[in-house]
Amino acid sequence: MVEPVHGQFAVFFYTLVTGALAGFLFDIYSGIGQVLRLRRTGIMVGDIIFWLILTGLVFVVFLLYNQGKVRFFLFLGLGLGAWLYYQLCSRLVRGWVVKVLETALRVSRWAVSVTLRLLYVFFFPFRLAFAALAFPFRLTGRLWRKARRLLLTPAKRLLPDPAKAGYRRFAGGCKKVLGKISRRK
């Protein structure tokens, strides 16, 4: 069955618009890469994602407007739409995209900074209370360690070797148990 000419012009127009949309999406992707200063791996991953999205978009347009038939004039429309987009408004749009992304990045950094400062101010009294409550325990622990060193060092010299080995085993077991239940830093 032969398609009417006005139907083919409509499909050609849709492919022109799709080509221009592909150019716009590429400008957005390029702007993101420019603002984020993507490295080689990021560019490769971005390229794969961009082309998968674009391929899906073109496939949907071909399927919706031309019943999935692939013809030369459709590819000509895609190419011509992208070329017209780049000739007419690519520089303007890319500059706009870069400015919007840089502004959004600046605003998000500012918001994160303000949020972190507010959280610091909010949690400061709790940190202060914790430090005040923990101080006696830390001081006691330090004094205990010093007293243990002062008392056990001479006692170790007086003990026979089998008792020292038993003490080492006992101390090693205690360290394992305490290591499992203590807070990690």
- Percentage of the chain lying above the pLDDT 90 cut: 28
Spatial distance between the Cα atoms of 70 and 51, rounded to a whole number of angstroms = 18
Mean pLDDT over 138-149 rounds to 87
CB 32 within 8 A of CB 52: no
The pTM is what? 0.60
Q: What is the per-residue pLDDT for 2?
A: 62
Enter the DSSP assignment of 89: T
Is 3 a residue whose pLDDT tops 90?
A: no
Helix ranges, 67-160 (H): 72-88, 90-158
